[in-house]
Amino acid sequence: MKRVKWRAIWLVCWALILIADFLFGLRTHLSSLVTGAELDEPDIFHYRLQTGLLVVFVVVALAPVVWPILQRLFVEKTPTKPVELERDERDASLAEALSYLVHQSAWGAARDTADEDGLQDAADLLEEAARKGRLHVRGVPPGGTSRETVTADYWLSAAIDMVATLDGTGSGGQGVARDKKKGGHIPIYQAMVVDREALKKLWPPDNAWRRTSRATARGLAQSVRLANRKPNPD
C-alpha cells in the first residue's frame, strides 16, 4: 500500500488558492462577502482584511514545512522499539554473522591481526556478497511485521548500521543509508538475518586442518624470506 503524501497535496492546494487570489482577486471577493456593507473608510478596511487573509494563507501554506523543522529542533525523539519476531534457528542475525566471520570462520582466522577493524571488514564482506547476490539478506521493512528479501541493489545505496546492529538491545541487524543527504528514500530494514548454512558455505568454519595448512604455508613463506635475505657484511 502506497503512502499518501499529504504534505505535498496540502502545499499544492494552497498554491492554487494563492494563484486564484492573484488572477481573480479572491481576497477582494471574500472581503466583500464578509463585510456585507459599506463602512466609513472602506478602502482601509478592505486593505487590512486582504492583508490579514494573505498572512493567513502564507502561514497555513508554510506550516507543513516549518512544523517538522521545529519538531526536529525542540521535540525529543523517542527511540524506535526494536522489532521482535519469532526466532528461527536456521537464521543468523547480522550481529551473529559478523561475530562468526571474525571469531569462528577460516576467513577471520587467516587475518594477520585481530584488529578493531575486523567487524567492519566482515560487514564489508557481507555487503559485497549481498550486492553480488551470493548471500540473501532478509529484514523487516518500515511499518512491516514480517521479514522480506532485501534486493541486491539495495546494498548499492545502503550499508549495515554497525552501531544499531551490534547494540545488545536492538534487533540484531539494521540498515543505514550510505549517503545521509540522499537517504530519505531508502527504507531502513530491521531484524535482518541471513541463512546460517549459506553463510558457512561461503565462509567455512575454522578447523585443525585449516590451521595446520595455514601454519605450514606461513612457515614456508618465512623460510623463503630468510633464505633470500642478504647476509649483513661485517
| Out of 26-30, 43-47, 85-89, 117-121, least confident range | 43-47
Please state, rounded to an integer, the average pLDDT across all residues of the chain.
76
Q: What is the pLDDT of residue 108?
A: 84
Per-residue confidence (pLDDT) for residue 126, from 0 to 100? 95
pLDDT for residue 51:
77
Q: Does residue 84 carry a pLDDT above 70?
A: no
Pick the more confident residue, 213 or 134. 134
Q: What is the pTM of this model?
A: 0.56
Distance linking the first and last C-alpha atoms of the chain:
82
125 pLDDT band (50/70/90 cuts)? very high
Q: What is the pLDDT of residues 9-67, one digit of tens each?
A: 677 777 777 787 778 777 777 666 555 544 555 666 666 667 777 877 777 777 777 76
Mean pLDDT of 114-137: 87
Report whether pLDDT(221) > 60.
no
Confidence of residue 122 (pLDDT cuts 50, 70, 90): very high
Instruction: Report the share of the chain in percent with pLDDT over 90.
Output: 32
d(CA 234, CA 225): 21
Q: Which single residue is written with the C-alpha cell 546494498? A: 155
pLDDT band at 77 (very low <50, low <70, confident <90, very high): very low
pLDDT tens, 127-171? 999 999 999 999 999 888 889 999 999 999 999 999 999 998 888
Identify the residue with better confidence: 101 or 17: 101
The confidence score (pLDDT) of residue 149 equals 94
Q: Which cell is 214 given?
A: 595455514
| Rg value, the chain, Cα | 31
CB 152 within 8 A of CB 132: yes
Question: What span, in angstroms and rounded, lies between the C-alpha atoms of 10 and 2?
Answer: 18
SS (H, E, C) the chain: CCCCCHHHHHHHHHHHHHHHHHHHCHHHHHHHHHHCCCCCCHHHHHHHHHHHHHHHHHHHHHHHHHHHHHHHHHCCCCCCCCCCCCCCCCEEEHHHHHHHHHHCEHHHHCCCCCCCCHHHHHHHHHHHHHHCCCCCEEEECCCCCCCEEECCCHHHHEEECHHHHHCCCCCCCEEEECCHHHHHHCCCCEEEEEEHHHHHHHCCECCHHHHHHHHHHHHHHHHHHHHHCCCCCC
> pLDDT band at 72, cuts 50/70/90?
low
Tell me what pLDDT residue 158 has. 93
Residue 215: predicted pLDDT: 47
